[in-house]
Structure 1
Amino acid sequence: MKATTVDVSTGFHALSDPLRLRVLDLLRSQELCVCELCEKLEINQSKLSFHLKTLKEANLVRTRQEGRWIYYSLNLSEFLALEEYLSEYRRLSMLISARQCK
């Protein structure tokens, strides 16, 4: 699935904040509920909710509700789409380097 310009822009915007990057780092190894994220990040839920909303709108995280708790996990397919977008630049860079060496 190729990412659209809007998807890429939204994804990179979501990745542009240090707190959101910390959230993603925590979610690398396991699914976590909001209360666990708040505890590990030492921030209040209202501040975290804003950042989680941004990550969710960018499709970088998935949610699952269990009772009154919402659990967050990474949406790895969206990271793959962003990686594929960037890989085009790596490919172009290699082509340009090869031309300059001739």
Structure 2
Amino acid sequence: MGNSEEKLDYYFKVLSNRIRRNILLLLEEESLCAGDIIKHFDLTGATISYHLKVLTKSKILVRKKQGLTVYYSLNQPEWEYIKNWFKCG
């Protein structure tokens, strides 16, 4: 991504979806596998998987494979960048 304005525009697009925002808030507490994330929503696994893919592609989330299980967690530097922008705007 080019400059910081383009980065913010991209993050706003990613964060414009309520489901993605709720996933991020959930993962603020702890890393979770997709199955555990799905349990918190009344949505299909495919829908949650799509949103996890968008968040991972945006680099707001990171995936870590442990054995056969993939865990998702916040990419702390990017998450702090987003939160700081909202604090300082």
TM-score (norm 1): 0.72
Q: In 1, Cα distance between the equivalents of 2:46 and 2:74? A: 21
Per-residue Cα deviation, 1:34-76 (whole angstroms, up to 9, x for no partner): 0000111132221111111111122111110112221011112
1:70 maps to a residue whose letter is: V
Report which structure shows greater RCO (CA 8 Å, sep ≥6).
Answer: 1
Q: In 1, Cα distance between the equivalents of 2:68 and 2:9? A: 32
1:20 maps to a residue whose letter is: R
Which residue is 1:6 aligned to? 6
Q: Percent identity?
A: 24
2:75 maps to a residue whose letter is: N
1:68 maps to a residue whose letter is: L
Mark the runs of 5 or more structure 1 residues left unpaired by the alignment: 90-102
Whose helix proportion is higher, 1 or 2? Answer: 1
In structure 2, relative to structure 1, the CA distance for the partners of 1:49 and 1:12 (3 Å cut) is: same
Residue 11 of structure 1 and its aligned partner are, at CA, apart by 1.3
Which residue is 1:82 aligned to? 82
**Count of paired positions:** 86
TM-score (norm 2): 0.81
